Structure 1
């Protein structure tokens, strides 16, 4: 790059010729960089820190069953809008529950947009408080993803595939949240 000063992802300005000052700083930066690279499909590195990353979103079909005795706590967490509090995914948990469907055998299904590798590494602890996760699978063929197959770089930025997947899921089963609330009212 032509600039003498660049901004790292963490927002620190550094001279690109500057090296990490000591082993502790190098180790800290390497740990941060390794974490960021796990979530990125494109990384530019300079010296001992990441300058730019662009995460690649993947859509997963999640199938899960509410843990025995956790249905009331789950409804309360949703109603109080605290489900997933503290997670980088923010309100995505609430959106997922609003879109989730439940099958006749009581399995909840939803489409999860995730930037993690391995899938749901950020979200898993939040989900596992209430659910037994049965499966987490690619929700669509990656070869059909314009970004992943190289036909349109950055296509995920304006992609409507999550909406299409959720529309398809809406034709299956019943609303998970409505079903959960009806069951809760029976207690």
Structure 2
């Protein structure tokens, strides 16, 4: 059996609590404000952070959305992608992903298995290499999702070059 780093020493509920607390503090968000953003009780948020309660997958998703990270980051803390955006077709811009409206009902149709294809990347070019800043994926349900590399979401747009994956073309922004 292979044990990886943190998991060999700590229960998952403790890791999730620590990751929530770490991100919340890094971003200067109070526990109460994060609870409001994730639409959960402040007392319950405290119990999650202190590992007195285990978060359901739905709860992990809501908290991750409020913190603007992919849900798996709360489980492991080392996820390479940090900031996730969904393309708003009406406005033609990327927007942070939001929690689905709780009043919305699932489609009665059987859901399709989601598949993604990477279509373009934002890169910083140097003489010898390219550093990927973000990657855009198209999903077979029509959505376009942008995944930002951890810590690179504040790079000025003027430094980023767009690279089309399908044609391997590079175009300046």
Same fold (TM over 0.5): no
Larger Rg: 1
Q: If the length of structure 1 is used for normalisation, what is the TM-score?
A: 0.26
Higher relative contact order (CA 8 A, sep 6+): 1
TM-score (norm 2): 0.28
